[in-house]
Amino acid sequence: MKRKLALLLGLLAFSLSSNALERIGRLGVGFANQMAVGIPSISFKLQRSEAFAFGGQVGYSNDDNGGGSAAAIKVYRNFFDEPHLTFFGSLLGGIINEKRGSISESGFQADVTLGSEFSFPGLESLGFSLEFGLSFNKLDEFVVETVGNNFIVSAVHFYL
């Protein structure tokens, strides 16, 4: 059973077929709320090829009761494309800082997720993402948790 699963994941990882919208070389700019400190972030995504995209997130709040900052980079691997839908796997790595009153804690976050980005016919420049997977983060203690991000939390990108 483990060998079959490993073979299936290997085939998905190295599949290069694509019928999706042409987004190669296009920059998507938008928002996301995936960071563990809960700060909304400005997000970007650049589709480098049919198979890979790179992205990042930056967020900041100077609120004394729940502020902080977050910055992350993200790598996407497209597994399967349809005309208005792309299935992908992604890895996120970032640094986080949370401020509560006079206490400030810094740490890291690493996410491993599977997801989908979709757009509507006639609105191809707007991409909505859904993601699920695992998040590993450390501020005051090391936490492993499952994540399930709808398109409001995961990301919305406008492709230039």
Average the pLDDT over each of 12-21, 49-58, 142-151 and give the range with the smallest value: 12-21
What is the Cα–Cα distance from 53 to 159, expressed in whole angstroms? 13
Q: Which residues are within 8 A (CB) of 128 and not within 5 positions of it... i.e. 6 or more apart?
A: 117, 118, 119, 151, 155, 156
Average the pLDDT over each of 70-84, 107-121, 145-159 and give the range with the smallest value: 145-159
| pLDDT at residue 19 tops 90 | no
| pLDDT at residue 66 tops 80 | no
Which tens digit of pLDDT belongs to each residue from 85-128? Answer: 999 999 999 999 998 878 889 999 999 999 999 999 888 889 99
In three state form, how does the secondary structure of 67-91 look?
A: EEEEEEEEEEEEEEEECCEEEEEEE
DSSP H stretches of helix in 20-118: none
> Domain boundaries in the chain?
2-159
Which pTM does this prediction carry? 0.78
- Cα–Cα separations (whole angstroms), residue 20 to 24, 50, 94: 10, 9, 29
Question: Residue type at 24?
Answer: I
Q: Compute and round to an integer the Cα radius of gyration of the chain.
A: 17
- Nearest Cα residue to 149 out of 50, 31, 54, 63: 31
What is the Cα–Cα distance from 139 to 156, expressed in whole angstroms? 27
Name the average pLDDT for the chain: 85
The CATH code of domain 2-159 reads 2.40.160.20
Helix (H, G, I), strand (E, B), or coil: what is residue 130? strand
Of the ranges 18-22, 59-63, 81-85, 93-97, the best mean pLDDT one: 93-97
